[in-house]
Amino acid sequence: MASVTYEHVTKQFGEVKAVNDLKLDVQDKEFLVLVGPSGCGKTTALRLLAGLEEISSGNILIGDRVVNDVAPKDRDIAMVFQSYALYPHMSVYDNMAFGLRLRKTPKSEIDRRVKEAADILGIGQLLDRKPKQLSGGQRQRVALGRAIVREPKVFLMDEPLSNLDAKLRVQTRAEISKLHQRLQTTFIYVTHDQTEAMTMGSRIAVMKDGLLQQLDTPQHLYDYPVNTFVAGFIGSLAMNFFEAKITGTRDDLFIDAGSFRLPSPKDRQEKIATYLGKSVMFGVRPEDIHDRNYVPGAMSGAAVTAQVDVIEPMGSEIYLYLLSDSHSFIARVDPRSQGRPGNTLDLMFNLDHIHLFDKETQQAIR
């Protein structure tokens, strides 16, 4: 097993810095997720670690060993791609065994590893089939099995669930998490899907434009985003943002968004007071906006009135698309809510969970 370290790693394609001064420590046996929108540098960072791209500057270490000039086959890593990349003319067994045969692994050892990996993944009964006889989920398991038999120090996974349907994605997501617990190996997983990141990672690295924005546990990322990008990217549905101004007096502050005004949270008064008279970005998650008739107990709230534009009943909850003067926002409310399109609804914002950001720097005001 091994840790992975990126030491000021940069990868430049012409004038574009796909990865920009990346500093990242992945702990031994950790499940780290690299997440961000397309083009943010997450896959490039993975390919640099795998040796599929050359580093422009910096160092990458696996354990205590700098691997910048080490051939991919000698880095003791295994990679699972978005495409299954299976040999169509080979059986499942032969696909899984192929890499070991190239390394001249003894036949008995190959047989042991393949059957053990097949047992872990529940594909023992498929070993004689060809890829064309398998479903998408089964093919993805074979691709995982091919990586497992290598018994690498580090598993690299580049959006391995993207080609699966929604139900199978959820199922395979859980299987990969169980696989990590069972193998106790370092996993680095790339995805653009923040739901995958939140449910699978022990820590998440959020990237944008080649830069690492925040590295933290899923819950801490959700509760304490460092800037508006992380706040808007992490969470489903996305956080609502409003331009606002801090008004009132130092002892009695308000967040004034124009169409509504909220009292400032008492536990952050001192810091927020430094923005008195200034514009800020105010953020609140849809799940922290409630129908006033169905507010959870012991919540510090403030009332806001808005017009219902669209409703999306989800069974266990309702998504309300709301309008308040020039502001449009989304609330995730109790399924008993009587909000209907065109109606005016009284809402409560949970003041314990609102977020404020500096308008110029986009950084969180803590």
The ranges assigned to domains in the chain are 4-233, 240-358
Q: How far apart are CA 348 and CA 8, in angstroms?
A: 45
| pTM to 2 decimal places | 0.90
Q: In what order do the strands lie in the sheet with 289-291?
A: 289-291, 344-350, 301-313, 318-324, 327-333
Q: Which CATH class is domain 4-233?
A: alpha beta
User: Using CA atoms, how far apart are residues 344 and 105, in angstroms rounded to an integer?
Assistant: 71
pLDDT number for residue 12:
96
Q: How far is CA 297 from CA 247, 290, 292, in A?
A: 29, 12, 11
pLDDT given for residue 1 in this prediction: 61
Question: CATH homologous superfamily of domain 240-358?
Answer: Nucleic acid-binding proteins (2.40.50.140)
Q: Which of 70, 120, 62, 72 is nearest to 96 (CA)?
A: 120
3-class secondary-structure state, position 21: strand
What single-letter DSSP state applies at residue 64? T
Write the pLDDT tens digit of every residue in 237-278: 999 999 999 999 998 999 999 989 999 988 888 899 999 999
Cα torsion through 28, 30, 36, 40, rounded to 10: 10
Evaluate if residue 142 carries a pLDDT over 80: yes
Q: What does the alpha-carbon distance between residue 331 and residue 239 come to, in Å, rounded to a whole number?
A: 10
Lookup: tokens for 112: 């042991």
Tell me the average pLDDT across 305-325. Answer: 95
Q: Please state the rounded mean pLDDT for residues 277-281.
A: 96
| Mean pLDDT estimate for the chain | 93
